[in-house]
Structure 1
Amino acid sequence: MRISADTYLPFPPSLVYATFRDRLVEVVAMMPNIERFKLVSRQQDDDRVSLICEWQGSGEIPAIARMVLSETMLLWTEFTTWDQSTLTTEWRIQTHAFPEAVICSGINRFLVDNGGTRIENRGELTIDPLHLKGIPSIFTGMVARTVEDLLGKRIGPNLLRMAEGVQRYLEQHPQG
């Protein structure tokens, strides 16, 4: 499943980019669908910053998926590499439920657009039913489609909510 979410913020790309990267804790606090967020590590090497963050979302798990899933489906670890020289972020998400079956990664670009910033979020989400351990094989295809649909419907909107949080943050703190 392709992930694609674009948004526009009326601030310069360097400021938007730095706010996403450096003010993540403050921005996430403005997101109602995130129950818990923890910055696990931050490493900087010249123009590149690597972050590892743990997230816990909130929301309903569809009844069909609840048969085999728990709230751990809403827990994930995100690995990001921020490249200041290109204003890009490469990311990879590792779910806590079925980490060997869920493959999710992408890249975000922060582009100059009409005096502000257009954020292009592109990614790919794949669920490999052969790696869904502990589920009877007769159900793995159905569970894989359900999990992919569940995650796919959350990732794009969450990317847009992050941008909304950055906009609110920058409106309150114009210098970042």
Structure 2
Amino acid sequence: MLISIDARIPFPRPLVYATYRDKLTELVPYISKVKQIKFKSSQEQNGLLYLVHEWSGGANIPAIARAFLSEDLLNWTEDSIWNNSEFTTSWHIKTHAFTEAVHCTGKNHFIEDNKGTLIQSRGELIIDPQQIKGTPQQLTVAIARIVENSLGKQITPNFQQMSEGVRQYLKKVQ
């Protein structure tokens, strides 16, 4: 599944970029399907900033999938690499359930224009049914589809809500 989401925030690029990078935990109230974001670590190296955050989601698992899936599917660790000179962040999401089966990576570009900042998020979500362990073999493809649909339905709204949250947050603090 390809991820392609754009958002526009009517504030200067350096401010929008820094808010996403440095104020992530303060944006939780603006994202309805996220219960908590915990900062885990930060490291600077060769002009890049490496951040790790742990996310706890609040979406519902589809009823048909509850027998096989746990709430851990809604929790993930995000590793991100922030390139301040290019105004980009590369990210990798590692789910706490089906870790070997779920591959989710992407890159966000923060582009300044006459309307503020355009954020282009591009990535991919791949579920490898062969890596889903602990379920009957006949069901792994169906479970993979359910996992992909469940995660896919969270990514776009979370990104859009976070962008709207950044806009509201900046409006409040400016």
TM-score, length-normalised on structure 2? Answer: 0.96
Q: What CA distance in whole angstroms lies between the structure 2 residues aligned with 1:89 and 1:65?
A: 33
Amino acid at match of 2:67: M
Runs of 4+ in 1 over 3 A off after TM superposition: none
1:156 — aligned with what? 156
Shift of 1:156: 1.3
- 2:131 is the counterpart of 1:131: yes
Match of 1:7 in 2: 7
Q: Distance in 1 between matches of 2:156 and 2:24?
A: 17
Q: Compute the displacement of 1:161 (Å).
A: 1.1
What is aligned with 1:69? 69
The secondary structure found in structure 2 opposite 1:144 is helix
Structure 1: any 5+ residue segments left out of the alignment? none
Q: CA deviation at 1:45?
A: 2.9
RMSD of the alignment, in Å? 1.1
| Contact persistence 2:24–2:37 (CA under 8 A) | no
Contact 2:7 2:120 in 1 (8 A): yes
SS of 2:103's equivalent in the other structure is strand
Cα displacement string for residues 106-158 of structure 1 (whole angstroms, at most 9, x for unaligned residues): 00000012230000011100000000000111000000011001101111111
Most deviating of 85-94 and 23-32: 23-32
How many Å separate the matches in 2 of 1:70 and 1:148?
Answer: 14
Identity of aligned residues (%): 49
Between the two proteins, the alignment pairs up a number of residues equal to 174
- How far the C-alpha of 1:46 sits from its partner, in A, is 5.4
For 1:49 and 1:119, the matched residues in 2 are separated by: 19
Using the size of structure 1 for normalisation, the TM-score is 0.95
Residue 112 of structure 1 is matched in structure 2 by 112
